[in-house]
Chain A
């Protein structure tokens, strides 16, 4: 998976508890992303980062925060987990592509999160 490690791979938690998911890369790529995957919705972008301490919101960022203090690590935090945040979470990395924008995204193995 292109040097991307997500942890944990599976997590079960209770409503109202904080949860942090970690994405670690060994590729030294500039861009990192957090997506969630739900049936019928494809993958939806939660937050992304274009450098250390540089992050921005995606289309479904409510209830999530992120931090990137090192190039290799991108953390996703659910401050107070809700059942609607039960999902599969994917981390992805990329480098700048040809011309503008980013190149191909490489995805981690995913984290299955269940909020009861």
Chain B
């Protein structure tokens, strides 16, 4: 059974700083997703990573995938308050998407 672990589970950071969220998974998969969720809202897709070495960037967020290490990272550059949200990684397992527990990100000004 696939296990997906995110860390940290809670991250409080100052505006302008950089930080990385890690997503480890236990079984081979060639597809990984990052989602964002604002409080009381649904999930919004951020990135789809389809192959080893894949890197995607959107604004201050950059996601990468290392399938050999079974690791994905979500790097935040020069954080701003608007990035405050919960971030989930999710790994494809057959026809199912298995989610990590989520990282609550709070950016303080």
**Is the pair B88, A110 in contact by a Cβ cutoff of 8 Å?**
no
| Residues from chain B with Cβ under 8 Å of A50 in the complex | 95
A43-B88, A101-B31 known; A106+B45 contact, CB < 8 A = yes
Interface size on A, residues (CB 8 A): 28
- Tell whether, in the assembled complex, residue B101 and residue A108 are in contact, meaning their CB atoms are under 8 Å apart: no
The answer to whether A41 and B43 have CB atoms under 8 Å apart is no
Q: A42-B88, A98-B50 are in contact. Are A107 and B43 (CB under 8 A)?
A: yes
When A and B form their complex, what is the total count of cross-chain residue pairs whose Cβ atoms lie within 8 Å? 57
Pair A42/B95 contact, Cβ less than 8 Å: no
Given contacts A48-B95, A101-B94, contact A41 B101 (CB under 8 A): yes
Among residues 28 to 67 in chain B, which have CB atoms less than 8 Å away from a CB atom of chain A? 30-31, 33, 41-43, 45, 48, 50
Residues of A in contact with B (beta carbons under 8 Å apart): 1, 31, 33, 35, 40-45, 48, 50, 58-59, 90, 92, 97-99, 101-102, 104-110
User: 10 tightest CB-CB pairs across the interface, nearest first?
Assistant: A42-B99, A43-B99, A42-B101, A107-B43, A107-B42, A42-B102, A101-B92, A109-B42, A102-B95, A42-B100
Interface residue B96 (Cβ < 8 Å from any Cβ of A): yes
